[in-house]
Structure 1
Amino acid sequence: MDMARIPTVNLNLPKGMRKRKQRSGKTYYYLETGTDKRKEISLGDDYYEAIKKYADAKQTNTENVAVLTLKDALTAYFKSRKYLDLAERTRDDYKACEPKILEFFNDPPAVLETIEASHIQEFMEWRGAESKRRANYEHSVISIAWNYARRKGLTNKPNPCEGVPKFELKARDVYVDDDVYLAVYEMACDPVRDAMDIAYLSGQRPADVFKMDETAIKDGFLNIVQNKTKAKLRLRVEADLKIVIDRILERKRKNPVYSLALICDEKGKRITQDAIAQRFRKIRKKVITKYPKMATVLRNFQFRDLRAKSATDIFEKEDIKRAQALLGHTDPETTEIYVRSVSGQQVSPTLPSTKIRSAIISRAS
């Protein structure tokens, strides 16, 4: 008499569902029909869609046929068009959150239906002990993946991240003064100098700086579509910005490789934001050795601070509207908050009464 074999693998697959890895490396899922010929119905190569098709075939709900974990939800989201349509930098940032999330929630694997708000709170306390900022970011990624899983019908359980507060963090308030800027600039290589010049003169976020191409320069304007907000800017290529771009183009013509990217390495190839960041950190260490009295401010100087320097310098020399336009903010109040966080709000001294003013003047004469 034949006895059914007790499964020891693929325990997240419901009864009658099988998976097979093909020579191509892809895994496909099948539903046994129960006929004598062991006929199977193909459910495709996507696990989550296969579970839904299985549930439809069995006329039941997905939570009744599969043990879906938080890892499953993350995997589903990272394969989704919603994720793939994000900017490359955002995708990389989201994916970088996965290891720590799984370190906490995948040993053993945490089933979606068992995760409560209290578990998210425990994660925040555990992760926050190392980095509150990263804990907040990973909280967001868990929430995004969970909401995606709900929309796809992988779970009906409410998002446990709701009601679990993130850490309150102080806004970054670093202003890079000219001496600090020039100390780094003095020892920087050409690609880093190019990147610093373009970032400061354009006032754009690093991600937008490193995607700039020659093809975006038309009729005397550098056309920019910001990754984060999708705001469109037409930046006049004039004055110092024109000097910098002309200098870059002239040097690029001498390189063995010609790339359309504005920021290139010494061979003429497009250089990434991460590559410049690595060079920037090495240069900063050398500058600290040369100028030990500036060590504290130099350690606080990050490439992204050039956007704040640009906005602050424009605000102090001109007005908030000019700074707002360059940064691409829709609301001037956003620019004011941004600028004041790094340089402080501009205020006037007390206007004294006539008697007190007379006393002050008499002491000065």
Structure 2
Amino acid sequence: MPSRMGVGAEMALPYGMAGPELKEAMDLAYLTGQRPADVIIMRSDDTEGDYFLVTQGKTGQKLRILMRTEAGENSLGKLVREITERNVRHPSKYLLINKYGKRMTKGMLRLRWDKAREKAQKNALDQGDPMLAAKIGGFQFRDIRPKAASEIVDIGDASLLLGHTKQEITKRVYRRIGATAKPSK
């Protein structure tokens, strides 16, 4: 189970089967709430002080995502720092690169995702859990974005992270959990 992400098995199992580049892509997608196309072009120079700067490709929306709080470095700050430190021997400024220093492309992400998901499905089937295998098979990399939004308690914070100007879009399209209710007794 990934240490940075509170996730369900449909995401945790492919994560466990993933190589380091895919794990980092999944972590970046989850922690920033961004689309796959925006995640693969994130760079080490997209930082400004305590902020990670994102310009969304689809909407052009600009975001400053905190990497540090009063308590210190948060999960995103730690991830960006670790990736940047590891990548220092390569000239590329992209965060997601392979062992040869080549930036991750859409096709590379897709190939790595498909392989990890297939291994996770096989693992679930080998453990006698066809329902979990089906859930894993239906889980796509792009589903990390709504998962991130659903796990943020405040809808306003979730909307900000996703770059939505209206909370209604976040509620309708991205929040995939219902309201929290207490039992009668």
Structure 1 residue 313 and structure 2 residue 151: aligned?
yes
The farther-off stretch of 239-248 and 191-200 is: 239-248
| Structure showing greater Rg | 1
Q: Which residue of 2 aligns with 1:337?
A: 172
Q: 1:221 to 1:350 in 2, by over 3 A?
A: closer
Is the 1:184–1:283 contact (alpha carbons within 8 Å) kept by the matching residues of 2?
yes
- Structure 2 gaps, min length 5: 1-5, 69-73
Find 1:199's aligned residue among 14, 17, 29: 29
Q: 1:322 aligns with which of 157, 160, 167?
A: 157
2:104 paired with 1:271: yes
Quick one: which of 122, 127, 140 aligns to 1:302?
Answer: 140
The Cα shift of 1:208 comes to 1.1
SS of 1:244 mapped into structure 2: helix
AA in 2 matched with 1:287: A
Structure 1 residues 296 and 217, CA gap change in structure 2 (3 angstroms):
same
Amino acid of the residue matched to residue 262 of structure 1?
Answer: L
Distance across 1 between alignment mates of 2:141 and 2:40: 12
Q: TM-score, normalised by structure 2?
A: 0.84
Normalising by structure 1, what TM-score? 0.44
Cα RMSD for the two superposed structures: 1.9
Q: CA deviation at 1:217?
A: 0.8
Cα distance in 1, alignment partners of residues 180 and 79 from structure 2: 35
Give 1:268's aligned amino acid.
G
**Match in the other structure for 1:185:** 15
Q: Which amino acid aligns with 1:188?
A: A
**Offset of residue 237 of structure 1:** 1.6
Counterpart among 47, 52, 64 of residue 234 in structure 1 = 64
**Consecutive unaligned residues in structure 1, runs of 5 or more:** 1-175, 352-360
Counterparts of 1:178 and 1:266, CA distance in 2: 29
Distance 1:197 1:177 in 2: 11
Deviation of 1:177 after TM superposition, in Å, equals 4.2
| Residues 15, 116 of structure 2: 8 Å contact kept | no
Q: How does 1:128-277 map to 2 (within 5 A)?
A: 177-238=7-68, 239-254=74-89, 257-277=90-110
Query: How far does residue 283 in structure 1 lie from its aligned partner after superposition?
Result: 1.3
Task: Describe the SS at the equivalent of 1:186.
Answer: helix
Q: What does residue 71 of structure 2 align with?
A: none
Q: Which amino acid aligns with 2:99?
A: E
SS at 1:264 equivalent: coil
SS at 2:151 equivalent: helix
Q: What is the alpha-carbon distance in structure 1 between the residues aligned to residue 82 and residue 57 of structure 2?
A: 26
Identity of aligned residues (%): 34
| Matches of 2:161 and 2:124, distance apart in 1 | 33
Between 1 and 2, higher relative CO (CA 8 Å, sep ≥ 6) is seen in 2
Question: One-letter code of the match for 1:312?
Answer: S
Whole-angstrom CA distance in 2 between matches of 1:237 and 1:209: 16
Q: Does 1:282 align with 2:135?
A: no
CA contact (8 A) 1:258 1:269 kept: no
Q: Alpha-carbon deviation of 1:187? A: 1.4
Find the aligned partners of 2:117 and 2:24 in 1 and give their Cα distance.
16
Report how far residue 349 of structure 1 moved. Answer: 6.6
**Offset of 1:179 from its aligned partner?**
2.2
Equivalent position amino acid for 1:321 in 2:
G
Worse overlay, 178-187 or 240-249: 178-187
Q: How many residues align?
A: 170
